[in-house]
Amino acid sequence: MDHGGHVLVVAFPGQGHINPALQFAKRLLGMGLKVTFVTAFSALNRMTETAAAAPPGLSFVGFSDGYDNGWKTSDTEHFMVEQKRRGSAAMEELVASAAAQGQPFVHVVYCILLPWVGRVAQKLGLPATFLWLQPASLLDIYFYYFNGYGDEIMKNSDDPSWSIQLPGLPPLTADDLPPFLFPSDPSNFAIALFKEHIDVITDSQQTNPNSKVLVNTFDELEFDALRSVKKLNMIAAGPLIPTAFLDGKDPSDTSFGCDLFQKTKDYTDWLNSKPTASVIYVSFGSYLVLKDHEMEAIARGLLETRRPFLWVVRSGGTDDDQGYELSCKAELEEQGLVIPWCSQVEVLSNPSVGCFFTHCGWNSCIESLALGVPVVGFPLWTDQATNAKLVQDVWKAGIKVRRNREGMVEDGEVKRCLEMAMEGEEMRRNARKWKDLAKEAAMEGGSSYLNIKNFVDELRGI
Ligand code: UDX
CA 344–ligand 1 middle distance (angstroms) = 9
- Helix ranges (H only) for 57-149 are 76-100, 115-124, 136-144
Q: Would you place residue 259 in the very low, low, confident or very high pLDDT band (cuts 50, 70, 90)?
A: confident
- The whole-number average pLDDT for the span 78-92 is 97
End-to-end CA distance of the chain: 18
CA 286–ligand 1 middle distance (angstroms) = 5
283-309 pLDDT, tens digit each: 999 989 899 899 999 999 999 999 999
Who lines ligand 1 at CB under 6 A? 14-16, 19, 133-134, 283, 285-288, 312, 341-345, 361-364, 367, 382-384
Q: Would you place residue 263 in the very low, low, confident or very high pLDDT band (cuts 50, 70, 90)?
A: low
Instruction: Please check the confidence at residue 182 and state whether its pLDDT lies above 50.
Output: yes
- The whole-number average pLDDT for the span 90-113 is 97
Instruction: Please check the confidence at residue 243 and state whether its pLDDT lies above 70.
Output: yes
119-131 pLDDT, tens digit each: 999 999 999 999 9
Instruction: Please check the confidence at residue 171 and state whether its pLDDT lies above 50.
Output: yes
Write the DSSP symbol of residue 410. Answer: P
pLDDT value at residue 157: 87
* Ligand 1: nearest atom to the Cα of 283: 34
CA 362–ligand 1 middle distance (angstroms) = 7
Span of 49-58, 94-103, 324-333, 404-413 with lowest mean pLDDT: 324-333
Nearest to 27 by CA among 454, 359, 356: 454
Q: Going by CA atoms, what residue is nearest to atom 13 of ligand 1?
A: 16
pLDDT value at residue 452: 98
* Ligand 1: nearest atom to the Cα of 19: 23
As annotated, the active-site residues are 17
* Ligand 1: nearest atom to the Cα of 255: 30
Dist. CA 284–CA 408, nearest whole Å: 18
Mutate to test the pocket of ligand 1, among 50, 254, 344 (most ligand atoms within 8 A of CB): 344
- Residue 234, classed as helix, strand or coil, is strand
pLDDT value at residue 260: 66
Q: Would you place residue 317 in the very low, low, confident or very high pLDDT band (cuts 50, 70, 90)?
A: very low
Q: Going by CA atoms, what residue is nearest to atom 11 of ligand 1?
A: 285
Q: Would you place residue 400 in the very low, low, confident or very high pLDDT band (cuts 50, 70, 90)?
A: very high
Q: Going by CA atoms, what residue is nearest to atom 6 of ligand 1?
A: 361
33-75 pLDDT, tens digit each: 999 999 999 999 989 888 888 999 999 999 999 999 998 878 8
Instruction: Please check the confidence at residue 319 and state whether its pLDDT lies above 60.
Output: no
Q: Would you place residue 405 in the very low, low, confident or very high pLDDT band (cuts 50, 70, 90)?
A: confident
Strands 6-10 and 105-111: parallel
* Ligand 1: nearest atom to the Cα of 341: 33
Q: Going by CA atoms, what residue is nearest to atom 8 of ligand 1?
A: 16
Mutate to test the pocket of ligand 1, among 314, 364, 375, 389 (most ligand atoms within 8 A of CB): 364
Sign of CA dihedral 390, 227, 285, 355: positive
Q: Going by CA atoms, what residue is nearest to atom 20 of ligand 1?
A: 16
pLDDT value at residue 117: 98
Sign of CA dihedral 49, 52, 55, 57: positive
Q: Quick one: what percent of the chain has pLDDT higher than 90? A: 81
CA 126–ligand 1 middle distance (angstroms) = 30
Q: Would you place residue 265 in the very low, low, confident or very high pLDDT band (cuts 50, 70, 90)?
A: low
Domains along the sequence of the chain with CATH = 6-251+443-460 (3.40.50.2000), 266-438 (3.40.50.2000)
- The whole-number average pLDDT for the span 231-240 is 97
Instruction: Please check the confidence at residue 221 and state whether its pLDDT lies above 50.
Output: yes
* Ligand 1: nearest atom to the Cα of 17: 9
Q: Quick one: what percent of the chain has pLDDT higher than 70? A: 96
Instruction: Please check the confidence at residue 442 and state whether its pLDDT lies above 60.
Output: yes
Instruction: Please check the confidence at residue 322 and state whether its pLDDT lies above 60.
Output: no
- Helix ranges (H only) for 244-401 are 268-272, 292-305, 329-335, 344-348, 362-370, 384-389
Nearest to 360 by CA among 377, 382, 343, 341: 377
CA 238–ligand 1 middle distance (angstroms) = 15
200-209 pLDDT, tens digit each: 999 999 888 8
CA 178–ligand 1 middle distance (angstroms) = 17
Q: Going by CA atoms, what residue is nearest to atom 22 of ligand 1?
A: 363
* Ligand 1: nearest atom to the Cα of 382: 5
Q: State the chain's mean pLDDT as an integer.
A: 93
Span of 97-101, 183-187, 357-361, 384-388 with lowest mean pLDDT: 183-187
pLDDT value at residue 318: 41
Dump the DSSP string for 331-342: HHHHHSEEES--
- The whole-number average pLDDT for the span 369-393 is 97
Write the DSSP symbol of residue 174. Answer: G
- The whole-number average pLDDT for the span 172-201 is 90
pTM: predicted TM-score of the whole model, two decimal places: 0.96
Q: Would you place residue 446 in the very low, low, confident or very high pLDDT band (cuts 50, 70, 90)?
A: very high
pLDDT value at residue 112: 97
Q: Going by CA atoms, what residue is nearest to atom 34 of ligand 1?
A: 285
CA 200–ligand 1 middle distance (angstroms) = 26
Q: Going by CA atoms, what residue is nearest to atom 4 of ligand 1?
A: 361
Instruction: Please check the confidence at residue 24 and state whether its pLDDT lies above 60.
Output: yes
